[in-house]
Structure 1
Amino acid sequence: MILSFFDQFSIPSLLGVPLIIPALLFPLMIWFTTNRLTQNRYSIMQSSLLTYITKQMMMPISIAGHKWASTLITVMVMLMLFNTLGLLPYTFTPTTQLSMNMALAVPAWLMTVLIGLRNQPTTSLGHLLPEGTPTLLIPMLILIETASLLIRPIALGVRLTANLTAGHLLIQLTSTAVLALLNTMTTTAMMTFMILFLLSCLEMAVALIQAYVFVLLLTLYLQENI
């Protein structure tokens, strides 16, 4: 039976129960099963790295937005864990599902919009119409800026889904080529395996970078509304 390459993105189930729920709870179970009160080199390195990333992420934001640092860094760490989870054998990547990414992107984007409407409604609505716009172009520019505002959560969710899906598909295609060439063209198969190893390293970097980009764009949206 020949399976489709896209079967790896279908939600696995056991006895009719979707396994996406244990996949989502897996990072949380790791967190609670480790002793966070014990200081060691790993925990100190992890804390220092998170502190450095938080400082870099909050640097463009004014002081009023720093209270959202814990929420944003939590979202970033969660996305990093979900993205890298699918690189392990026999696992499932929850963030390859567009529905889950949109469920993260829409409320986060809506949070930034509502903060702007609550704190500075005039300035937030003023973003829909650039200063000095000719009178005849006002209706068209309002529609364009409104569409640009509404497309932001779609861009957040689709970017994360597309990057992870493309990387996983490329890895599967390359691994299939390695298995097909192993018995007939061993040298070519070994060279392809080296490419597969480099692709795996690249996909690990993409998994981490895309989580950072997701949160970085949220900080930019937040800066416009505080």
Structure 2
Amino acid sequence: MMLSFFDQFASPMFMGIPLMAIALILPWVLYPTPTSRWLNSRLMTLQTWFINRFIKQLLTPLNLAGHKWALMFTSLMIFLMSLNVLGLLPYTFTPTTQLSLNMGLAIPLWLATVIIGVRSQPTAAMGHLLPEGTPVPLIPVLIIIETISLFIRPLALGVRLTANLTAGHLLIQLIATAAFALLPMMTTMAIMTTVILFLLTLLEAAVAMIQAYVFVLLLSLYLQENI
């Protein structure tokens, strides 16, 4: 049976049961939990340092009202980063290559920022739909354009994360297939392709972490406009 390159993005099944839930829950087991000891382990210390640096970097532009989102943003960042990076391991599944999951994260969080803006400062929230100093004939057109750009934000969030991870995984599989095909015929070329594959894997690991950060960063920027 010939397998498609896109089969790696299908949700794994066991006895007809999708294993999507296990793929979502498993990464949390890998993180150490705080203890009552005075001295933490090196891994716990590194994790705490990373979380503190991330929160400081993310919440500096926000006012005090936006600091309530610190726990959710941090949890979302670690969650997405774990799924993206662990999906690069053999015999694993990357849930964030599914557009449905990414849209399920993007739409509620984006909608929450919009609702907060409408409730706390409705005038400023509506003012984003019409730039100041717009000529009167262009007002209806600009309102329509700004409204479309507002509603396309969650789609851009979900599609960006899905497209970047899907493209990286496909490229890795294509180059790996080429390396295996060239090994019996052109050994030198196969070794060069393997080196390229190794470098591309490192790049994809960096992209996996960066895309998780970009997802949360854009959400914080949307929140900043509405608080």
User: 2: distance between equivalents of 1:69 and 1:190?
Assistant: 46
User: 2: distance between equivalents of 1:71 and 1:97?
Assistant: 21
Q: Return 5+ residue gaps in structure 2 as ranges.
A: none
3-state SS, counterpart of residue 178 of structure 2: helix
**TM-score, normalization: structure 2?**
0.96
- Name 2:7's counterpart in structure 1: 7
- Name 2:20's counterpart in structure 1: 20
- Name 1:135's counterpart in structure 2: 136
> Post-superposition, which runs of at least 4 consecutive aligned residues in structure 1 deviate over 3 A?
none
Deviation per CA, 1:95-148, whole angstroms, max 9, x where unpaired?
000000000000010010011011001110110011111111111110000000
- Name 1:189's counterpart in structure 2: 190
Identity %: 62
- Name 1:73's counterpart in structure 2: 74
Pairwise CA distance, 1:25: 1.0
Pairwise CA distance, 1:28: 2.7
User: 2: distance between equivalents of 1:208 and 1:12?
Assistant: 23
- Name 1:100's counterpart in structure 2: 101
Pairwise CA distance, 1:35: 4.8
Q: Give the CA RMSD over aligned residues.
A: 1.0
How many residues end up aligned between the 2 structures? 224
- Name 1:114's counterpart in structure 2: 115
User: 2: distance between equivalents of 1:67 and 1:170?
Assistant: 39
Amino acid at match of 1:66: H
**TM-score, normalization: structure 1?**
0.97
User: 1: distance between equivalents of 2:123 and 2:213?
Assistant: 31
Stretch moving more, 154-163 or 21-30 = 21-30
